[in-house]
Amino acid sequence: MLRVFLAGWAIGGVDAAFYASSRFSSMVAAEVAFSALLPGAVLGLLFLVAALAQEALLGRLAARRPLLRRLLTALWAAGGTLLLAWTIRRRLILGFAPSLPAGSPPLLATALVFLGARLIARRRPAAAIGFLVLLALVTAGFALSGIGAPQPLTAGRGPGDRRPPTDRNLVLVTWDTVRADTLPVYGGAGLETPNLARLAEEGVLFEDCQAVAPQTGPAHASILTGLFPPAHGLRSNGDELARENATTLAEYLGRAGYRTAAFVSAAPVSAKYGFSAGFQFFDGRPSNSPGERLLRLVLTGSMLLDRVLPAGWHPASASTRGEVTLERALSWLETGPDDRPFFLWVHFYDAHSPYRPPEPWRSRVQARAAEGPRPADPSLLEQWVLQRGEIELLDDLTGRLLAGLERLDPGLRRTTVALLSDHGECFGEGGLKCSHHRSLFQATQRIAGVLRPAGEMDGIDRGGRRQVPVSQVDLFPTVCELLGLPVPAVQGRSLVELLAAPSGEADRGLYMEAFARLNLADRRHAWRIRPWTYAVDQAGRETVYHDRRGEVSLSEVPPEMLARLRSELAEFLAGIQVAGPHTALDPETEADLRELGYTD
């Protein structure tokens, strides 16, 4: 039993040593201690449980048959060797370079455990007890010091006592990974989103709202800067905003005298990528629970434990439950704003895969699974239905946020609310299953877009629906005009005229791109003129997508339209100042993005 325990600890220690090798410089003392002790201890205990189960089932038989006992011993040795080889191979594939100095804490802890085992084997109980007490004290001491619990960014009250030209507040709500055609207001079924419907009834819904990119970071960066990804520089999750090129909406409103706060729920929009710029209060903490942070550390430090632990037990480590994000935002609303108007951004990530809606939302959508559109891949129906449950949850959270806002501003007379999703999700389109980063299909590019101006504003066609194609970059100039501020030089267009009446404007060409790190040579620029999206990859290969039919042959596009698509994309790329690459990747960032499915 002792040997089996030590074998498990040794494999866990080597695994943790690789992890520490790449991340040691960014780890706090508590993380060093726990990554050195916990993966080996947990893996050793799992090995011990397996050995005890074997002994209970086969112990008596093996005692009478020496050949069977030798066979079982050989199987343990072979299995342990294969697990160790697999662990090392996976760490090397993922780019965790071995470094003896940085990886020494787990190896030292493993050596100490072997020493303790030797003391036990020699029947020196006092020394063994002392050793175990020392380990317990070290572990407890570091536990009390906290495990990576970052605090919100607070950067003061803003620029003096300057007041904006109006007293109107601005609230931006972003729903992660929500495609438009799932939602009842866009023709979807099988779920209820009454709070989104309320915003559409009190404001204006954009039928053809397009994402700039099928990834969280680039899309949100364009929403907050009014620039397309080549201009703001954040073209893939893991990149950073090019601060010399981009002024964020929070910076612009902060200079005008607004209070600014953001509450975000996932790693791709965290402060390290530049999303905190201009926010006087920015909260992107991953979790309130020390237990979840501890389990995350164990799983990140052990490839094997990460694989064998049931998926439902994994903590939401690189993301925060919407319930927690909402509580933080409501707390700020109750205590944070002073008498000046404010800009509040709340980002909900729950609808991102894996889809695990809690009750009662899970049961409600499963009861209505036969309703609504079918996925392109019928085998993904269950996944699509489960995501509907998470979207119902997002709608409920949004309703509670609106209720909190109305406690400050009854009837939202002075509060403008904008709700956008960042991108959608493919459920079989192009062979992509519950994925999005490679897609330029409408499954990921057509998103929710609703703008509800402050109730006191006149001349708004409330309940109206607009067919003109719009982009995420249009939000920045639109809200500036609604708030009575000068519209800065950005690449989006103000949509204020559309809020009063439908426009007879012809279809507008829009830029989009798929530049995720995982796309490699398949990174593509694209130009959309409804219903066609024309894309070109880094080798010059051309692809065309039809809004309803997906990828089609170039010969199916009318020649004059294909020529227009090519020329307008070339003209756009020739006229844009491309920001240089700004990467924010480090081992911790890589682990966060890998967990969310954005790196391999």
Whole-angstrom distance, CA of residue 188 vs CA of residue 375 = 12
Amino acid, single-letter form, for residue 347: H
Q: Say if residues 447 and 180 touch (Cβ distance below 8 Å).
A: yes
- Helices of type H across 422-520: 442-445, 475-482, 496-500
Whole-angstrom distance, CA of residue 134 vs CA of residue 233 = 50
- Residue 270 binned pLDDT confidence (cut-offs 50, 70, 90): confident
Whole-angstrom distance, CA of residue 347 vs CA of residue 139 = 35
- For the residues 153-181, what does the mean pLDDT come to? 78
Q: C-alpha dihedral over 479, 528, 348, 295, to 10 degrees?
A: -140
Most confident among 44-53, 386-395, 494-503, 515-524 (mean pLDDT):
386-395
Question: In the prediction, which pLDDT does 156 show?
Answer: 44
Whole-angstrom distance, CA of residue 211 vs CA of residue 223 = 9
- For the residues 122-137, what does the mean pLDDT come to? 63
- Is residue 515 scored above 50 in pLDDT? yes
Angstrom CA distances, 315 to 354, 390, 539, stand at: 12, 17, 40
Whole-angstrom distance, CA of residue 399 vs CA of residue 396 = 5
Tell me the Ramachandran region of residue 486: left when phi exceeds 0, alpha when psi lies from -120 to 50, beta otherwise. beta
Residue for token pair 């005009």:
481
Question: In the prediction, which pLDDT does 554 show?
Answer: 93
Q: Is the pLDDT higher at 197 or at 237? A: 197
Question: In the prediction, which pLDDT does 140 show?
Answer: 53
Q: Is the pLDDT higher at 493 or at 308? A: 493
DSSP string, 227-263: --HHHH---SBTB---TTT---HHHHHHHTT-EEEEE
Q: C-alpha dihedral over 261, 263, 267, 268, to 10 degrees?
A: -60
Q: Compute how many other C-beta atoms are within 10 angstroms of the C-beta atom of residue 85.
A: 11
For residue 543, report the phi and psi dihedrals to the nearest 5 degrees: -140, 145
Strand partners, 583: 239
Question: In the prediction, which pLDDT does 89 show?
Answer: 76
Question: In the prediction, which pLDDT does 163 show?
Answer: 74
E strands present in 360-463? 415-421, 426-427, 433-435, 446-447, 449-452
With H, G, I as helix, E, B as strand and everything else as coil, classify residue 446: strand
Percentage of the chain beyond pLDDT 70 is 79
E strands present in 176-231? 204-206, 209-210
- Is residue 219 scored above 90 in pLDDT? yes
Domain ranges for the chain? 2-145, 153-285+320-507
Q: Compute how many other C-beta atoms are within 10 angstroms of the C-beta atom of residue 594.
A: 14
Question: In the prediction, which pLDDT does 157 show?
Answer: 45
CA atoms within 13 A on the CB side of 267: 22
Question: In the prediction, which pLDDT does 599 show?
Answer: 53
Q: Say if residues 101 and 28 touch (Cβ distance below 8 Å).
A: no
Question: In the prediction, which pLDDT does 600 show?
Answer: 44
- Residue 146 binned pLDDT confidence (cut-offs 50, 70, 90): very low
Mean pLDDT of the chain: 83
Closest CA to 492 of 228, 283, 252: 228
Closest CA to 325 of 266, 262, 263: 263
- Is residue 256 scored above 60 in pLDDT? yes
Strand partners, 175: 348, 421
- Is residue 311 scored above 70 in pLDDT? no
Whole-angstrom distance, CA of residue 423 vs CA of residue 444 = 5
Whole-angstrom distance, CA of residue 402 vs CA of residue 539 = 48
Question: In the prediction, which pLDDT does 148 show?
Answer: 45
How distant is the alpha carbon of residue 389 from its chain centre? 18
Question: In the prediction, which pLDDT does 135 show?
Answer: 60
Q: Is the pLDDT higher at 183 or at 337? A: 183
pLDDT digits (tens, 9 = 90+) for 195-209: 999 999 999 999 999
Closest CA to 224 of 180, 279, 177: 279
- Domain 153-285+320-507: give its CATH code: 3.40.720.10
Question: In the prediction, which pLDDT does 14 show?
Answer: 82
Whole-angstrom distance, CA of residue 510 vs CA of residue 528 = 5
pTM listed for this prediction: 0.74
Closest CA to 280 of 303, 253, 302: 253
Whole-angstrom distance, CA of residue 597 vs CA of residue 177 = 13
Whole-angstrom distance, CA of residue 106 vs CA of residue 115 = 14
Q: C-alpha dihedral over 165, 167, 173, 174, to 10 degrees?
A: 10
- For the residues 228-233, what does the mean pLDDT come to? 91
- Report DSSP state, residue 578: P
Q: Is the pLDDT higher at 211 or at 100? A: 211
Question: In the prediction, which pLDDT does 267 show?
Answer: 84
- The pair of three-digit structure tokens given for residue 102, joined into one six-digit string: 């940085």
- Residue 318 binned pLDDT confidence (cut-offs 50, 70, 90): low
Whole-angstrom distance, CA of residue 50 vs CA of residue 61 = 17
- For the residues 393-403, what does the mean pLDDT come to? 97
Whole-angstrom distance, CA of residue 456 vs CA of residue 410 = 11
Most confident among 44-48, 82-86, 358-362, 411-415 (mean pLDDT):
411-415
Please classify residue 161 by burial: count the beta carbons closer than 10 Å to its beta carbon, then call 0-12 exposed, 13-18 middle and 19+ buried.
exposed
Q: Residue 303: in which H helix or E strand, if any?
A: helix 303-308
Whole-angstrom distance, CA of residue 179 vs CA of residue 20 = 39
Q: Say if residues 551 and 544 touch (Cβ distance below 8 Å).
A: yes
- For the residues 539-544, what does the mean pLDDT come to? 92
- Is residue 357 scored above 80 in pLDDT? yes
In sign, the C-alpha dihedral spanning 456, 461, 464, 465 is negative
Question: In the prediction, which pLDDT does 72 show?
Answer: 85
Closest CA to 344 of 409, 410, 267, 423: 409
- Report DSSP state, residue 33: H
Most confident among 274-283, 297-306, 399-408 (mean pLDDT):
399-408
Please classify residue 53 by burial: count the beta carbons closer than 10 Å to its beta carbon, then call 0-12 exposed, 13-18 middle and 19+ buried.
exposed
Percentage of the chain beyond pLDDT 90 is 47
- Is residue 149 scored above 50 in pLDDT? no
